[in-house]
Amino acid sequence: MLLLLLLTSAFVLVPWTGAGEIIGGREVKPHSRPYMAYLIIQNGSKPFFSCGGFLIRPDAVLSAAHCVDKKGITVILGAHNIRGRERSQQKFRVRQWVIHPKYSRDGFKNDIVLLKLKPKARINKNVQLISIPRRMERVIVGTKCEVAGWGWTSVPGHTTNVMREVELKVQKEEICQNLFKNYQRQSMICVGGDSSKKASYKGDSGGPLICKKKAHGIVSHGRERHPSPEVYTNISYFEPWIREQLRKFALQELPDSPSYN
């Protein structure tokens, strides 16, 4: 019931021009992407919409800033079927997060947020970390990458309870520069679109673009009726900022409560 409400409202409220689902993909093998996070965004006590994210350290999840803004956030790790009562799931109420100081909703510039988990996630076979690239690492045009999430599976709005994935290729930046007036070459990655109908879509926002086993991009935004090509946040560009935030997270750290299970 709760999730139904959530998915219904996702329809209306997730900005897509704000990318969010997996179109043209397939169900993932359960728990084959153990770094994936499911985010429930609340307005006060009400679930509001959902997003993706990914675990880069036991106390840190990366996602898209437009998912979060100033609302309440719950993170679920270790999930396959988000409506199932899976024993693998770890749930966190997020109390601290850092949105990039230059994030702008207009054009989704610097669309990146780091969420702090407290207590830390328990790393096991269903909950694991994914690496991010270093600052000068880049993905070249034509690189095959994958994106996963729980978002819409078609433009008219079919939803899914289980995690899905799709393979996409890095596209020439000129293509996105022509389609998106606020496209920024360094801080964004242009993905998909060579006559394929594959894409991420509403509800996938915040999820990772995985290229060669590293999270190179964050699902950010696309066009409502033509989901492909679409724009991802370029993680490599933000790597120094991410490292700095992670250092701050660690400095503020209090001992974990021994009582979490």
In the bound complex, what is the minimum distance in angstroms from residue 135's beta carbon to ligand NAG?
6
In the bound complex, what is the minimum distance in angstroms from residue 15's beta carbon to ligand NAG?
12
CA dist 165 → 80, 200, 223 (Å): 12, 9, 20
The three-state (H, E, C) secondary structure of 2-60, written as one string: HHHHHHHHHHHHCCCCCCCCCECCEECCCCCCCCEEEEEEEECCEEEEEEEEEEEECCE
**Closer residue to ligand NAG, CB minimum distance, 71 or 226:** 71
Size of the site for ligand NAG (CB under 6 A): 11
In the bound complex, what is the minimum distance in angstroms from residue 68's beta carbon to ligand NAG?
13
CA dist 159 → 65, 86, 88, 105 (Å): 22, 19, 22, 25
216-255 residues in contact with ligand NAG (CB under 6 A) are 234, 236-237
102-141 residues in contact with ligand NAG (CB under 6 A) are 135-136, 138-139
In the bound complex, what is the minimum distance in angstroms from residue 241's beta carbon to ligand NAG?
11
Residue pair 72/80 in contact (Cβ under 8 Å)? The answer is: no
Place of tokens 């790790």: 77
Q: Which residues carry out catalysis?
A: 66, 111, 205
186 scored as a contact of ligand NAG (CB under 6 A)? yes
Binding site for ligand NAG (CB under 6 A): 43-44, 135-136, 138-139, 186, 189, 234, 236-237
